[in-house]
Homo-oligomer: A and B are copies of this chain.
Amino acid sequence: MAEKKKKLLQGNEACVEGALYAGCRFYAGYPITPSTEIAEGMSVRLPKLGGKFIQMEDEIASMAAIIGASLAGLKTLTATSGPGFSLKQEAIGYACLAEIPCVVINVMRGGPSTGYPTGPSQADIMQAKWGTHGDHPAISVTPAYVQEILTETVRAFNLAEKYRTPVVVLYDEIVGHMREPITMPAPGEIEVVDRAKVTCKPEEYFPYDDKYEVAPLAPFGTGYRFHVTGLNHKQDGFPTNDPKIIRENNERIMRKIENHKEDIWKNEETFLDDAEVAVFTIGSTARSARYAVNEARKAGIKAGLLRPLTIWPFPDRAVAELAKKVKAIIVPELNLGQMVLEVERCSRGATKVEGIHRVDGEPITPAQILEVIRKYK
């Protein structure tokens, strides 16, 4: 216990700690408010650990560089915010199709466009799933507490390695810039998934070996010479026009996530057992919601909270089940209606779904949520 020092850290600083804990040894990025502290932290810390930091000329180059470095065998990170996240989309799609693990942090600020750079938002949730063209898998995790930014960043790296895919960590400016005391995990305390080792002979190695749902990825320069492309490809990595193979591969990269939703999902449930009205939300809004739900309970209202720490793949089953149990699901979000659409879809008309939306750079307050909860008591 003497070792486990409590520290007061900013959300973005906790992100740095999480990345380093997970074994991240490469960062490429371009500064943008309110994510810049992550780059700044990595620039100081990485070289001490033998890792590399590079400030690229823009966000596109940053995304490309972390994919390249990941192919060279490192765990890699970039961090950005709305405008930069938009620019990274093409390369994120590349990482999805070429199946290159990496982690992208998006600290959400007021938008659209340049918007309100120092204000919070949760308006890039749908973009995290649909931002790049074509069908592609998406995993996004959504921490709400500073300590959780650390642990969820570690989880993001784990998921990236396990499923060979880019993982997005989404949190809003409030969580990114606030400070809370956190306890640094000891080595080994949190699970860290390392890249699967390739053991076969080089001549038997296929980067997309269809023996596997997720084939192991050999780092460049280790004797496994193979080809990687953003074109539709065969199991050996070379491009193909064969409709059967194109289809199979396009479907497989979706399936590898779809089939493991149980493993990827992570929901925090508060008072849901007997809840008559439920709140569904993430990030700083979930902090307000928890406060509100506590207040509601004090007032005798059977309110509960479903807080997904994985927003993509969307927790469809949990929402569908909840919808059958409660009178209403309230969806507070710092946007004009994003998660609420998914909640509507998954509840298939089984309950009332009501969004609370705010886009003025201010948080949704506990009082705002409580007011809506009261409607359904």
Contacts and interface: CB of A to CB of B under 8 A. Distances in A.
Interface in A76-101: 82-83, 85-87, 89-90, 93-94, 96-98
A317 B83 CA distance: 33
Interface residues on A, range: 35 or more
A108 to B, nearest CB: 8
Given A112-B134, A116-B231, A362 B82 contact: no
Contacts of A244: 360
A199 interface: no
Given A83-B90, A110-B246, A345-B344, A336 B254 contact: yes
A83 to B, nearest CB: 5
Contact of A130 (B116, B121, B131, B345): B131
A97 B126 contact: no
A246 B359 contact: yes
Given A113-B93, A116-B231, A358-B247, A129 B130 contact: yes
A367 interface: no
Q: Is the interface of A mostly helix, strand, loop or mixed?
A: mixed
Interface of A: 60, 82-83, 85-87, 89-90, 93-94, 96-98, 108, 110-117, 119, 121, 123-124, 126-127, 129-136, 229-232, 241, 243-244, 246-247, 250-251, 254, 335-338, 341, 344-345, 348-350, 358-362
Contacts of A93: 83, 86, 111-113
